Structure 1
Amino acid sequence: PGERPRYGVCGSGWHGLHMKDFALISMAAYMTPTPRTDVPGLLQRLLPGTNATLARTGSGHRKWLELEVESCAAASHVAGGCRRVRVIAVSGTDPTKVQDILENIRMWTEPVMMEILSVTFPIVRAWHRDATEMVIGGIHRIIRWLALQDDRWQYEEILERVREIPSDEDVVLTGHSLGGGIALVVGALSGRHAVAIQPPGLYHAWAKHQEHHGASGPVRELHQSSVSLVVESDFVSNFDRHGGLVQTITCDRPQAGAALGCHALEGTICHLLRHCGDEDGHFASCTHDVPPREGRAEEGR
């Protein structure tokens, strides 16, 4: 059982899965499926109360997994006794790849620039979102008019796949860090739910993706489709504001690993298990360590 205090998100579920399930799936998304990594076997260990199978993987630069998850234990109210959902899990930033770093810069250039601008002109902080949307959208309309727009985002393959799935099938997107941000974008553009783990915000940057994809209307698509788990002192979450349902949790070891200590997904998983427990009763404990300059390790039992 979890330690007190419990968070508001504890006990909540989306499509038969809990927050710690999405965090565990997001961790698996970093792996490349090979006979050696045995991702299907790993999924069975991470989600022992479900029948989780690997249905598809991405073919582009951005790694992502499509899982078919069937959960029967917590779905007695569902006709037929079981709940089925497709989970699209998107990998986060690989700091060794220049493409990933550049994608982060491309996706959050405008919110960061506006934050810098607000240092000189504090009035910028008081702008209504409609004002920032007009500025960001106008910039990208000019760029498109000048034929300088490069809108082939790394999430395009994922968006195309999600739009192929019949509307009567349950789909939820997830991911950690940049992967969580991509999940939020694709979820809002496709009208599907997204559960993002420690993502950058999307409140202002969303206007850019609306402009590129011809989506119109207010930011309600983001508010209605997204759930974000944010860790206190995690600098990545400070890029832009967050929309939708946001749960903030504390960081156990803010001093570990300097600035990245609170961004480690392993630490977030252990924190969730300690404070929410495991609703499915499969994991009794979780330990996580960040030895300085020696990598990091996680152990769950």
Structure 2
Amino acid sequence: MGGQYDANTSPPRGPNVLLRDAAVGYSNRLKSAYKQKDRVLATAEGREEELHAYQNAHGTWRFYRTLCQVRFGYLSFLVVMVLLMFSFTLLMEIFFAIFLPSAKYDDYYTVRAVVSLILLPIVLFFLSYIFEEASRLFVDALNKSDGSLPNFRLALAVVIHYLRHRTELAEPEESGDQAPVDDNANEGGDELRRTRSSRTGILHQRTSLLLTAKNDPFLDDDKDEEDEAWERKEAAAEQAQAQAIEATETRSARLSAVGEVPQKKTALNRWMRAKAAVKTTLLIKKKRFPQIFGRAFRKFISGFVVVSLIFFSSSFIIGTFVTGGSFKLGPFDNSTELVSNELKTTHGLSASITVNGKIISFDDTSEYAACSVSYDGLSVLDLALMADAVYGTTTKIQKDAMENRFNGTELEDWKYVARNNESTDGQNWMEVYFPAVNMTVIAVRGTASATDALEDMHFWFGICIMQAINVFVPFLKQLPRAFVVRLLSMNLISAIMPSPVFTDLLNHAVDTRARVGDNLVITGHSLGGAIAAMIGAKTKTSAVSFSGPGLLYSLGRFDISAQDVRDYVLTMKPRKDIVPRVDELGGLVQEIRCKRPSPMGCHSTSTHLCELYFSCGDPRQRNWSTNEKCIEYGNLPSGDDDDDE
């Protein structure tokens, strides 16, 4: 009673005692299973059966392992590609913060340039580390040999080992489960403690056998002891070498004090120090330290320079050869005979098809859905003429182009309201008001110089690189769009970046929108078209872009939403034009025919004007018959079959 128990009865059995007995029983069963397996393998039939079972299991696990390796390799490849694109974009952003022409107009240009140059080595150090580690992860993922992912595999092994054996690893808490024992039961208590001690020893011994079983693929027996022995050996060798060098230097110093240093000994000491340095270098290379400025990163820098030169050269070519503002129409004549001839030329009934036995006649030219779009009386063709007129280098050239295109029509009372500040604004634009329809149009000039080409590169360099690589290695669609948008936004360094080139234009558009309300349309060609679309989405204003790049991957960079692009933007996209293929177009996209053979020809404003005239006609009855560009375009063979693509 009260803590005493009879010697013939069993001692009290608490929860921890039951747990201990269960572990001992499991260890005994495991040991018996090993002995039984050894007896089976002692026979030829048993070994043959074991080999067949091993071969079947090996084939199954090999397929599963290959599948896992493919998935992990593809994941590591995506990681490398993301870091590659991020590195490209980040380095180019720092370059633009210093050398972009529009950045020099900023009040803090000098401070920004100095800060960017100071941060450049730090950025290179950071990029080199993450790039080397990512490339190493990708290479290791492709390696099928065991231990190819030491750090990753070790961490995974620790987690799996804990999940497998967490119950065996738990230390029993016996303090709360021991029954009280009085002085009269000391002899029985000693026997109980000896029994517990004996059983605990067996438990630890057999649990050790359980946790270090040879068939556990995640364990490496004696690895810690081998590592410690190797480290002790290396430390002893280094210490002996250091003592030898110190003794040699001490002897040389003593001989030097008395002027008895032989030349051969001095040379020998230098060679010994050089040899020690080489050994140390080789030893360091054997270590798996984080690599900084390794071979992969040096190749990346070389590739960055080459790709940048290619993109700069192509942008410079586009910016140099794109022209506009020189499109001339003939003298205005709205006589019935001339209008009739023009309509027959452009919209003659020259083709027919048979459907269900009935003949349907139609125009030989295309009739686009955008032809019927009207912005309170302004057609898409009117806006295309204005997008071309803004290419004039001076105010007089722009006004002359407007007179040639609108005087004599019902819109001849137009008023030239404003244009950009030619000395400070990097983006050229003009504002025109049409009292007859109470509409204001802001036309934005596109790429017309090397400076404009640099601005193109600034906004769309990152997505251009991603799309160019995606042609050969399709990975862009494997990444979430929201992730790519955030990656290209470069919010990480937005604080040190200069104000965008379109800042003054955006401020003017906001003021105009507040003044005229919904009676505003923004239009432009090429870069100007993308800027017009961006400002239209930002200010919730109707915008028409002619051959402008897309915006859906650049939403974060311009701080706009895909919904606003969808609701307010119309893009005219000639086939074979490569500029609208940059990024991804949103909103209403009207693809139009291009009869010219080259992408540069399809990108020009004259292609838009002539194709829209031949397809939509001109309700304002302008005289197009004398325009040489449209005459030449009309005589080109179509050669634009949608079925070919």
Identify whether the pair has TM-score above 0.5, normalized to the shorter chain: yes
| Counterparts in 2 of 1:286 and 1:115: CA distance versus 1, 3 Å | farther
Paired residue type of 2:430? L
3-state SS of paired residue (1:56): strand
Among residues 572, 588, 600, which one is paired with 1:260 in the alignment? 600
* Aligned counterpart in structure 1 of residue 508 of structure 2, from 161, 164, 171: 161
618, 623, 629: which one pairs with 1:278? 618
Q: Contact 1:43/1:53 (CA < 8 Å) preserved in 2?
A: no
- 1:269 — aligned with what? 609
1:235 equivalent among 578, 596, 620: 578
Tell me which residue corresponds to 1:21. 382
Q: Aligned partners of 1:289, 1:281: CA distance in 2, in Å? A: 18
**Corresponding position: 1:135 with 2:135:** no
Unaligned runs of 5+ in 1: 72-82, 291-295
Corresponding residue to 2:405 among 24, 43, 46: 46
Work out which of the residue numbers 429, 451, 455 in structure 2 matches 1:103: 455
Q: Does 1:186 align with 2:529?
A: no
Q: Find runs of 4+ consecutive structure 1 residues off by over 6 angstroms.
A: none
Matches of 2:580 and 2:500, distance apart in 1: 21
Q: CA deviation at 1:185?
A: 1.1
Q: Which has the higher contact order (CA 8 A, sep 6+)?
A: 1
The answer as to whether partners of 1:228 and 1:244 remain within 8 angstroms in 2 is yes
Structure 1 pair 133–32 and aligned structure 2 pair: CA distance change class (3 A): same
Structure 1 residues 272 and 173, CA gap change in structure 2 (3 angstroms): same
Aligned-pair CA distance for 1:168: 4.7
Structure 1 distance, partners of 2:627, 2:500, is 37
Query: Counterpart of 1:207 in structure 2: which amino acid?
Result: G
SS class of match (1:272): helix
**Residue identity matched to 1:124:** L
1:206 Cα offset (Å): 2.3
CA shift for structure 1 position 121: 4.2
Residue pairs, 1:70-81, within 5 angstroms: 70-71=435-436
Of 411, 424, 433, the match for 1:68: 433
Aligned residue for 2:84? Answer: none
CA contact (8 A) 1:273 1:285 kept: no
Show the 5 A alignment for 1:191-230.
191-210=540-559, 218-230=561-573
Question: Percent identity at matched positions?
Answer: 26
Q: Is the 8 A contact 2:525 2:545 kept in 1?
A: yes
Q: Which runs of 5+ in 2 are unaligned?
A: 1-342, 348-364, 635-645
Q: More strand per residue: 1 or 2?
A: 1
**1:172-196 CA deviation, whole Å, 9 max, x = no partner?**
1111111111101111111111111
Amino acid at match of 1:56: A
Which residue, out of 490, 497, 512, partners 1:149? Answer: 497
Q: How far apart are the structure 2 equivalents of 1:8 and 1:176?
A: 20
Counterpart contact for 1:22–1:174, Cα < 8 Å: yes
**SS of residue matched to 1:113:** helix
Q: Distance in 1 between matches of 2:385 and 2:511?
A: 26
Q: Who is 2:587 aligned against?
A: 244
How many residues align? The count is: 264
Change (3 A) 1:58 1:297: farther
CA drift at 1:127 = 3.5
Alignment-mate amino acid for residue 67 of structure 1:
V
Q: Deviations over 1:187-225 (max 9, x none)?
A: 111111111111111111122111xxxx5xx41011111
1:272 CA drift (Å): 0.7
- Asked if 1 retains the 8 angstrom alpha-carbon contact of 2:610 and 2:633, the reply is no
Q: Aligned equivalents of 1:12 and 1:119: distance in 2?
A: 35
Q: Deviations over 1:207-262 (max 9, x none)?
A: 2111xxxx5xx4101111101101000111111110111100011112xxx43111
The structure in which a higher percent of residues are helix is 2
Task: Find the partner of 2:418 among 42, 47, 56.
Answer: 56
**1:284 positional shift:** 5.1
- Post-superposition shift, 1:129? 2.5
Deviation at 1:160, TM superposition (A): 0.3
CA contact (8 A) 1:111 1:240 kept: yes
Deviation of 1:130 (Å): 2.1
8 Å CA contact retained: 1:56, 1:65:
yes
Q: Is contact 2:552-2:585 (8 Å) kept?
A: yes
Partner residue, 2:130 = none
User: Does the CA contact (< 8 Å) of 1:20 and 1:273 recur in 2?
Assistant: yes
Kindly state the Cα deviation for residue 15 of structure 1 after the two structures are TM-superposed. 3.0
Helix, strand or coil for the counterpart of 2:565? helix
Distance in 2 between residues matched to 1:115 and 1:239, nearest whole Å: 8
Does the CA contact (< 8 Å) of 1:270 and 1:286 recur in 2?
no
Secondary structure at the aligned position of 2:383 is classed as helix
Query: How far apart in 2 are the matches of 1:285 and 1:70?
Result: 28
Q: 1:141 to 1:42 in 2, by over 3 A?
A: closer
Shift of 1:126: 3.9
Superposition deviation, residue 123 in structure 1: 3.0
Cα distance change, pair 225–65 in 1 and its aligned pair in 2 (3 A): same
Which amino acid in structure 2 is aligned with residue 132 of structure 1? V
Name the aligned partner's letter for residue 99 of structure 1.
T
Match of 1:91 among 434, 437, 445: 445
Query: How big is the alpha-carbon RMSD for the aligned residues of Structure 1 and Structure 2?
Result: 2.4
Question: What is the alpha-carbon distance in structure 2 between the residues aligned to residue 34 and residue 121 of structure 1?
Answer: 48
Counterparts of 2:596 and 2:626 in 1: how far apart (Å)? 15
Provide the secondary structure at the position in 2 that maps to 1:242.
coil
Cα separation, partners in 2 of 1:267 and 1:117, compared to 1, 3 Å = closer
Give the superposition deviation at 1:154.
1.7
Structure label with greater radius of gyration: 2
Task: Verify the 8 A CA contact 1:40 1:53 in the aligned structure 2.
Answer: no
